[in-house]
Amino acid sequence: SAFSVGGTWTRASAIPPMCCCWKPLGIPITIAVINLAIMVGMVGGPRMFWDLIEQNLQPPLIFEAPNLSGSDVLLTGANRGLGKAIASALAQVNASVLMTCRTEPKCRKAASEVSASLVEGSHGTLIPSSLDLGSAASIDFAVDALRDSRDGAPLDVVVLNAAVAGLHPLDPKTGMNPIIGVNFVGNIHLVQRLTKANLIDAQTKLIVVSSG
């Protein structure tokens, strides 16, 4: 017999490999059986745990879309991708969305496509306008025009979605990489100009979209 703790370890001649046998209370249990029990516990334990969690989970919350009637939203980078989807979602809940992008023709095309996709009963409005975050002059012009059209009334929501990615040469006019010029400097300049024009106040919701 071998060293034992709470039982007797013996060499079982009739048992093939993994033949060390433990006899608690005189019942032979091979190491192979013990290992099998451990593996079953490792697999079955988590399964039982998750079954218990799932059985006690509360029903999922149903998101009730807000009604943004009367809300004015400025959205940058609105002509494609996420920006276009945001414009659609806002218009579906009746917001008035100023869709901006670098060139007005692109904005008009995107606004037309979003408008055609709206479900019946949606009363949102889509206003296409050019705004190039890589150009301080474009930002200034857009903000001045918006201020004049609103008589200085602040916006309800500003969504900063426009950005550039990838490798770009330095801008010969500014000496900056366009990623820094648009994603950082351009957005800061836009927010500062909107604030000075009283188009952003303490009640305005500012949303910054980031891939980080």
- Given a cut of 90, whether residue 98 has pLDDT beyond it is yes
The whole-angstrom separation of Cα 33 and Cα 151 is 82
Reported confidence tier of residue 10, pLDDT bands at 50, 70, 90? very low
Task: Show Cβ contacts of residue 171 under 8 Å, excluding neighbours closer than 6 positions.
Answer: 134, 177, 178, 181
Q: What pLDDT is recorded for position 46?
A: 58
Report the pLDDT averaged over residues 182-203.
95
Task: Give backbone dihedrals phi and psi of 123, rounded to 5 degrees, phi first.
Answer: -120, 25
Domain segments of the chain as ranges: 9-56, 72-208
Radius of gyration for the alpha carbons in the chain, expressed in angstroms and rounded: 32
Give pTM, 2 decimals.
Answer: 0.67
- Measured at the alpha carbon of residue 178, what is the angle toward residues 197 and 89, in degrees to the nearest 5? 60
Q: Any idea which architecture 72-208 has in CATH?
A: 3-Layer(aba) Sandwich (3.40)
